[in-house]
Amino acid sequence: MKKSRKNIFKRICCILIPALLLTSLFSCKSNTDTDSTQQSTINTSASDTSDTTTSVLNSTSDDANPTAAGLYDYTAPFADAAPVIDGKGDDAAWEKAEWKPIDQLWLGDKLPDPSVYSGRYKIVWTEDRLYYLVEIVDNYISTTRKDTPLVEPYNDDCLELFIDEDGTSGDYLNTYNAFAYHMSFGGTNVAALNSQGQVQLYNDHLHYVVGKDGDTYMWEVEMKVFDKTYDENSTNNVPVKLYDGKKMGFAVAYCDANETNSREYFIGSVFIPGDDKNVAYKDASVFAKLTLVK
Ligand SMILES: [Ca+2]
Ligand SMILES: [Ca+2]
Ligand SMILES: [Ca+2]
């Protein structure tokens, strides 16, 4: 009896010990695989979008990144009556909203002289729309691409509005996690990248009129806000409803083309860390926070 118990014990050991060793080996392999996947993800993002990585790293330190610290955030008041989109900022709704500057250099050697460019913006909202009033001083208007809005729209003078409806931040190239609208000076074309990375028109998303007074241009804009479920192949997309306390990611920028008929300056409303500051079109983590209040 004792002998047979010993034999059974030996057999169990023979089965269990190799099994445990195998399990342990697979467990190590599995960890190694996970590690190498994570490493490869980090390496990929480092090589493809070095500034994205930098911005994410920097955003962990509020002191090093004033955008992450909230310096460029905006609180938008509710509009009892929606502004009339006519390129004039004399609507009662705009009186409640604060001007904020568009003065962070994203491209170009240095901030241009205020007579060459200066910019500021306001935002208000209703349940159905966001409204922007953007005042731009620009001493040279270049619209050589106004009839070819799908070709390098950023190389004409254009206002660019960035919006991340749920504020989830992160990459949005080839997704609708966020939108980057390029608005032509002609007042008719809104270009953005679609899910295939191609420039497409989204003219029904924004309604805008540009007023002019000398070198000062008043862009008055009505925006439908779409979320990440937006389907570019559907005509039934419904903009989200806006409400008191809602937070979104956002930025406002101006592409300033001058005598060269291409973009000489790209100036945004938020500070972007790192050397490559032209990342807002693909990385919503550089956006500031927009808060709607009643
Ligand atoms: Ca107006
Ligand atoms: Ca998002
Ligand atoms: Ca210009």
Nearest ligand to residue 86 Cα: 1
Q: 129 C-alpha to center of ligand 1: Å? A: 15
111-143: per-residue pLDDT in tens?
999 999 999 999 999 999 999 999 999 999 999
Better-predicted residue by pLDDT, 39 or 144: 144
Bridge partners, residue 203, by sequence: none
Q: Residue 270 domain-assigned?
A: yes
225-280: per-residue pLDDT in tens?
999 999 999 999 999 999 999 999 999 999 999 999 999 999 999 999 999 999 99
The mean predicted confidence, pLDDT, of the chain is 83
Q: 126 C-alpha to center of ligand 1: Å? A: 15
| pLDDT given for residue 54 in this prediction | 35
The answer on 241 and 265 residing in a single domain is: yes
Q: Residue 56 domain-assigned?
A: no
Total tally of structural domains belonging to the chain: 2
For residues 29 and 224, what is the distance between their CA atoms, to the nearest angstrom? 49
* Mean pLDDT, residues 66-74 taken together: 94
Query: Vertex 131, ends 126 and 135: CA angle to 5°?
Result: 155
Q: 235 C-alpha to center of ligand 2: Å? A: 21
For residues 267 and 116, what is the distance between their CA atoms, to the nearest angstrom? 12
The answer on 36 and 107 residing in a single domain is: no
Query: Vertex 105, ends 97 and 183: CA angle to 5°?
Result: 60
Q: Residue 53 domain-assigned?
A: no
On the question of pLDDT at 2 being above 60, the answer is no
Q: 26 C-alpha to center of ligand 2: Å? A: 37
Q: Domain range for residue 41?
A: 1-48
The CATH number assigned to the domain holding 174 equals: 2.60.40.1190
The answer on 210 and 122 residing in a single domain is: yes
The confidence band for 27, taking pLDDT boundaries of 50, 70 and 90, is very low
| pLDDT given for residue 193 in this prediction | 95
Do β-strands 288-293 and 74-77 pair in parallel, antiparallel, or remain unpaired?
parallel
| pLDDT given for residue 100 in this prediction | 98
Q: 157 C-alpha to center of ligand 3: Å? A: 5
Q: 93 C-alpha to center of ligand 1: Å? A: 9
238 neighbors 124 (Cβ within 8 angstroms): no
On the question of pLDDT at 5 being above 60, the answer is no
On the question of pLDDT at 46 being above 90, the answer is no
Sign of CA dihedral 67, 294, 206, 97: negative
Query: Vertex 127, ends 124 and 133: CA angle to 5°?
Result: 20
3-state helix/strand/coil string of 23-57 = HHHHHHHHHHHHHHHHHHHHHHHHHHCHHHHHHHH
The confidence band for 187, taking pLDDT boundaries of 50, 70 and 90, is low
Q: Residue 280 domain-assigned?
A: yes
Q: 68 C-alpha to center of ligand 2: Å? A: 16
Kindly provide the b/e burial profile for residues 205-222, where b requires at least 16 CB atoms within 10 angstroms of the residue's own CB. Answer: bbbbebeeeeeebbbbbb
Q: Residue 231 domain-assigned?
A: yes
The answer on 69 and 104 residing in a single domain is: yes
Nearest ligand to residue 155 Cα: 3
The confidence band for 188, taking pLDDT boundaries of 50, 70 and 90, is confident
- Which residues are within 5 Å of ligand 1 (an ion), measured at CB? 83-84, 86, 88, 91, 220
289 neighbors 163 (Cβ within 8 angstroms): no
The answer on 165 and 24 residing in a single domain is: no
Nearest ligand to residue 219 Cα: 1
2-48 and 50-59 helices, crossing angle to 10°: 110
The confidence band for 31, taking pLDDT boundaries of 50, 70 and 90, is very low
Among candidates 109, 95, 161, 172, which has minimal Cα distance to 134?
Answer: 161
On the question of pLDDT at 25 being above 90, the answer is no
The answer on 92 and 5 residing in a single domain is: no
